[in-house]
Amino acid sequence: MRVQDGWLEGVVRCPSAHCNTRPDGEVSLLVIHNISLPPGQFGGGYVQSFFRGQLDPAAHPYFAEIAALRVSAHFLIERSGAITQFVSCDERAWHAGASRHGGRENCNDFSIGIELEGTDELPYTEHQYGALLALTQALQQAYPAITNSRITGHEFIAPGRKTDPGAAFKWHRYLAALTTPKGT
């Protein structure tokens, strides 16, 4: 995997208009999230529609509550490990909302958001961990300011407001894999 001009090569691109220019052009934080639409259900393409502002509010009762929201992430990793990119990493996606990291507000300004298809309680798949590891390594190569210590969860930058990626996410496993040299 390789990032070229803000876009990850070899993945599905599903461009979203829910983004804008980064105020300082800085990319120095990686934020892990989870999402499922409807809640607790996977597949169906609803997340892709939601991030593009095309979610049909009549398709499910929950969608009527959220269809008008303008949100996006840079990436979605589905249960199968398939990766979709919505926003160039060089642009600001609207994934973190009111947030704070390292004494700085508005994490969207300087972060990349990765959504894992899932919930706080259900285990993530082996395919997702593999895709997340490869994606993270490609992002760290392209954006060296994203060190392992600059990877966090939505729950940590918006405590009390957000809970994802939740208790089901194996932080130790993920971070240990990032620090293990390739081929060992």
Annotated active-site positions, please? Answer: 115
Instruction: Give yes or no for a contact between 101 and 28, defined as CB atoms under 8 angstroms apart.
Output: no
DSSP 107: G
Mapping DSSP onto H, E and C, the string for 91-150 reads EEECCCCCCEECCEECHHHCEEEEEEECCCCCCCCHHHHHHHHHHHHHHHHHCCCCCHHH
DSSP 125: P
